[in-house]
Structure 1
Amino acid sequence: MRVRVVRRGGIAGVALETTVDTSELTDLEAARADSELSDLPWGRPAAAPRHPDQFSYELSVAGDDRAVVLSEDEVPAGLRPALALLTQRGTIRPASS
């Protein structure tokens, strides 16, 4: 499954964007990520971050209309390995786009 992830926020106010393919994760990480993705509140309106410099994560699945925005503290533990790929493969772009 290919998941587009955009991380916004932080002190610098930049956004990182990448597409994470769960087949690139270990079997255990992929199984956990798939399970956590199925339980996300898809289509729910984005909540305001609790802290001004907190990250938010926008997730969408390739070939699917599902999307969700989660604050940093709402990210399920099973998705954290996939989101960690942002710092390894993400592309920095202006936060306003």
Structure 2
Amino acid sequence: MRVTFERSGGFAGLMLTTSLDTATLPPSEANQLRQFVQAANFFQLPTEMSSASQPDRFQYDIAIDDGKRHHAVRVGESSVPESLRPLIDWCMEKVRGG
């Protein structure tokens, strides 16, 4: 499974991005990533979940390729469903080097 994660916007307008692949992650992290994707029902989420434009808010773009399935989601900070929050938080931790 390959995950591309991007956070843009915010006060400073900085873009953070990372690509993760379960084939290169430690097994425990690869399993954790799969669990977050499954718990979020990622492949059933709508492709666009942005709210009305709000200055200084973040936008998240997540694309996942899992063999035969590919899905991309764009979600505004104020529209993130609770089921997706753990995946976003985990990806942000990886962007920051955690």
Gaps of 5+ in 2: 23-28
Task: State the distance in 2 between where 1:27 and 1:76 align.
Answer: 18
- Aligned residue type for 2:7: R
* TM value normalised by structure 1: 0.65
Task: State the distance in 2 between where 1:88 and 1:77 align.
Answer: 17
CA RMSD, aligned part only?
A: 3.0
Task: State the distance in 2 between where 1:26 and 1:59 align.
Answer: 13
Q: Which has the higher contact order (CA 8 A, sep 6+)?
A: 1
1:69 to 74, 79, 82: 74
Gaps of 5+ in 1: 92-97
- Please identify runs of 4+ aligned residues in structure 1 that moved more than 6 A: none
* CA contact 2:46–2:73 (8 Å) conserved in 1: yes
1:87 equivalenced with 2:92 (yes/no): yes
